[in-house]
Amino acid sequence: MRAHGSVPISQDHFFSSDPSAIDARLPNVSMVFLRLGATRVWAKIDTGYDDGIYPHSVDINQALYERLIKDGMRLRQVSEMTVSTCEGRETRPVYSLMDEPLIVETDQAQPIVRTKNFYLTVKQANGCGGIGAMSEQAAQLGASFLRLFRSIVFDPKSKTVWLNPASKTMFSPTAIARSAHVPAAK
């Protein structure tokens, strides 16, 4: 996979074919890691989250929203959206993050892809569970993020997700290796 430009993201404690390997506080779903300015957080990959109205939508929970504000991130509300949940319809604010890109990273904080075109939607706690109900910082990516990659491979047996960046917003495997101070994969 590395020889073809794919980058591994370890899923330890998050995603596995062995449910006993998962942290009991977390869902057994695939994750990536995001950097928003100085803030780093894990994000669920939700291939069924239709974010066509606001492409590259990132749902964030209240804990992450508060952290971004505390870290001095400048958020600008661009709209509101109404979504259907298990409890009915609810309205959520939609923000853009001024001055900072979103960087998708590996579990080792190595950058994979960067984009300035994304939206943040605050997902409040409700009876449906998910990241909104968590007290720790968490996020969830919409399906349109998958277009940032030529390919994505979910491998629960090895507890790995492989991403292959698709565009000029990507970091090359050589640049990733340099940023981590390790030799590039051959």
Which pLDDT value is given to residue 126?
Answer: 82
As to burial, measured by CB atoms within 10 angstroms (0-12 exposed, 13-18 middle, 19+ buried), residue 96 is: middle
Among 110, 102, 121, 116, smallest CA distance to 62 is for: 121
Give the pLDDT of the chain (186 residues) as one tens digit per residue. Answer: 889 889 999 999 889 899 888 888 887 889 999 999 999 999 999 888 888 888 999 999 999 999 999 999 999 999 998 888 888 888 899 999 888 999 999 999 999 999 999 999 999 888 778 888 889 999 999 889 888 888 899 999 999 999 998 754 555 444 444 443 333 333
Domain residue ranges in the chain: 2-21+30-180
DSSP class of 14: T
CA torsion, ordered 114, 117, 119, 120, to nearest 10 deg: 30
CATH number of 2-21+30-180: 2.40.70.10
Give the per-residue pLDDT at 104.
96
pLDDT (0 to 100) of residue 99: 87
Tally of CB atoms within 10 A around 9: 25
DSSP 121-166: EEE---TT-SGGG-SS--EEE-GGGGGGEEEEEEETTTTEEEEEE-
- Dist. CA 57–CA 51, nearest whole Å: 6
Phi first, then psi, for residue 131 (nearest 5°) are: -65, -30
